[in-house]
């Protein structure tokens, strides 16, 4: 894919997120997205086939960015530091892309959602990274016996996603470090230390 095509797609993703952030996804039209991005309507159809194709690609793009941040948290750190880096990485991503967080919350648990198949794959992509890091903690005895790492990974992802939105909407005066520390206090409190 050419750099020009990549730039155009990013412009369309950013325009979609801006519009969705102010109006939501329902009723958003290809005409509005194209106008916001400063491109012709045909550009959307050429690159994505439809509005649904654009949203599907946007979800994949956003989760790929989130996965990059989470993978950065796993490289070269002690197992004990992993949890703080995972939480901080997710909070930083959702602070940088608040509308993407809103889109995930609104679509991820909708039953059945229009992008359910894509979201299932994307959720697995993110939770598998978290799961691997939690398994590192379990392997070093830092997770209580009987705790299912798979469930814990889903719980951590869901918790941070909802907390990030709550932070942005109801407590924007808090720093990311304060929010991270609150989540970590909850997690550490639940594991007894």
Each residue's pLDDT tens digit, 15-42 = 998 898 887 777 889 999 999 999 999 9
What's the mean per-residue pLDDT of the chain? 88
Split at pLDDT 50, 70, 90, the class of 111 is low
Q: In this structure, what DSSP letter does residue 146 have?
A: T
193 pLDDT more than 60: no
The token pair at 75 is: 């490289």
Buried b (16+ CB within 10 A) or exposed e, 146-167: eeebeebbbbbbeebbebbbeb
The alpha carbon of 143 is separated from its chain's Cα centroid by a whole number of angstroms, namely: 24
- pLDDT of residue 190 exceeding 90, the answer is no
Q: Report whether pLDDT(100) > 70.
A: yes
Residue 192: predicted pLDDT? 47
Higher pLDDT, 74 or 35: 35
pTM of the complete model: 0.86
Domain boundaries, the chain: 1-49, 52-190
The CATH code belonging to domain 1-49 is 1.10.10.60
CATH topology of domain 52-190: Tetracycline Repressor; domain 2 (1.10.357)
């Amino acid at each position: 894919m050419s750099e020009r095509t990549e730039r155009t797609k990013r412009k369309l993703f950013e325009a979609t997120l801006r519009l969705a952030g102010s109006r939501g996804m329902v009723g958003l039209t290809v005409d509005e997205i194209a106008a916001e991005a400063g491109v012709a309507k045909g550009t959307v159809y050429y690159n994505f086939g439809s509005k649904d194709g654009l949203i599907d690609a946007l979800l994949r793009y956003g989760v790929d960015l989130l996965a990059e941040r989470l993978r950065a948290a796993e490289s070269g750190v002690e197992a004990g530091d992993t949890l703080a880096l995972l939480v901080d990485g997710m909070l930083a991503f959702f602070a940088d892309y608040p509308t993407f967080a809103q889109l995930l919350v609104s679509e991820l648990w909708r039953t059945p959602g229009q992008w359910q198949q894509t979201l299932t794959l994307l959720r697995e992509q993110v939770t598998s990274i978290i799961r691997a890091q939690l398994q590192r903690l379990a392997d070093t005895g830092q997770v209580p016996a009987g705790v299912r790492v798979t469930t814990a990974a889903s719980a951590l992802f869901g918790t941070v996603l909802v907390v990030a939105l709550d932070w942005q909407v109801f407590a924007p005066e808090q720093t990311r470090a304060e929010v991270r520390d609150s989540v970590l206090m909850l997690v550490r409190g639940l594991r007894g230390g």
